[in-house]
Amino acid sequence: MLDKLFYFIMVPMVYVAVAWCVFWIVVKIVKILRAPTTPPTLRIFPDDKGPEDRNTGGLPAALWDTFTMPSVLKYNPLLWVFLVVFHVSLAVLFLAHLDLLPQVNIMSAESADMIGNGAVGALLTASILYFLFRRFRSPLRELSIPADYLLLFLIFLLFLSGDLISWGNSWSESGFGLAKQDFGLYLRNLFAFDLSDPRQVLDHPHYAIVVSHVFLANLFLLVLPFSKIMHVFFAVPMNALRRG
């Protein structure tokens, strides 16, 4: 029974979660595109721009605002540090997961370490804990809703389960029971729509931890389109509106 559940989580549920996530992201984007257009301008004028200044900086300025968050740096530098650490680490984490594929070799093919040797996960986990705990303090506590806490908690568990794997491989003598290369084979099979049982390539008692990690990742993908994480897609357009 447990084997069946593990198989479901590791193979069909992954496909369902990815398809669900992509489908609803597209629906959300289409819904916004089909909504009535915004008022003529929502522009805010920086101190050095006058009303005749047609050069609003356009997309480059919106990208700059999105990726460097100058307003947060100015008014809340500590939050800015954690936001930057979090987002940069997230980008590295994405690369680290790509690097699991046998075809991609950012780290050497034989290396037991993920990119960052476990530090990326540590930074992400620390940031997520900061984001979570700052919500326990007033005034943010009054403004937070249950979804904010649950989402952060889900991401925290997701990171922690990933940390167990990468920290085990990078930071302990005996290592995690399964190596990076094993995950590579599992991922390759998934990409190839090979529906065989992942146990064949991930045959170790630590398998349950990998299943937990994948389960949490699946959950994350299932809720993503309905969560505020959709700002991944809308932060640039929203900033472009402010730039005019």
Partner 1 sequence: MDGKMKQELLDVFASKLNQSVRMYMDNCARCGACIEACHVYASSPETRYTAVGRAQNLRRLFEKYHKYSGKIAPWLGEAVELDDNWMKKVYETAFTCTGCRRCMTYCPFGIDTQQFQAMAKAMLIAADMEPKVLSMLADVSVAKGENIEATKANFAEACRQLEAEVIQKWQQEAGKETIPLDVKGAHVLYVALAGKHSIIPAAAIMNAAGENWSLSYFEAVNFGAFVGNPVVTKNIAQRIIDEANRLGVREVAICECGTAYRVMRHMTGTHDFKVITFLQLIERYLRDGRIKVNKAVNNGRTTYHDPCQIARNGGVYEAPRYILSRLTDDYVDTNPTKSANWCCGGGGGLVVVGDKDFRMMSAKVKADQVRATGAKVLATGCENCHSQLSDVNEHYQLGMSVEFVSSMAANALVR
Distance CA 153, CA 142 (A): 18
Contact mark string toward partner 1, 67..106, x via CB under 8 A: --x-xx--xx--x---x-----------------------
Distance CA 32, CA 30 (A): 5
- Check if the beta carbon of residue 196 is closer than 8 Å to that of residue 140: no
Q: Which of 36, 60, 77, 205 binds partner 1 (CB under 8 A)?
A: 36
Q: Which of 15, 23, 45, 153 binds partner 1 (CB under 8 A)?
A: 45
Assess 1 for contact with partner 1 (CB under 8 A): no
Does a cis peptide bond (omega within 30 degrees of 0) precede residue 139?
A: yes
Assess 231 for contact with partner 1 (CB under 8 A): yes
Distances (CA, A) of 30 to 21, 56, 139, 140, 163: 14, 27, 35, 32, 36
Assess 133 for contact with partner 1 (CB under 8 A): no
Assess 228 for contact with partner 1 (CB under 8 A): yes
Interface positions with partner 1 (CB under 8 A): 28, 31-33, 35-47, 49-53, 65-66, 69, 71-72, 75-76, 79, 83, 134, 138-140, 142-148, 150, 226, 228, 230-231, 234-235, 237-239, 241-243
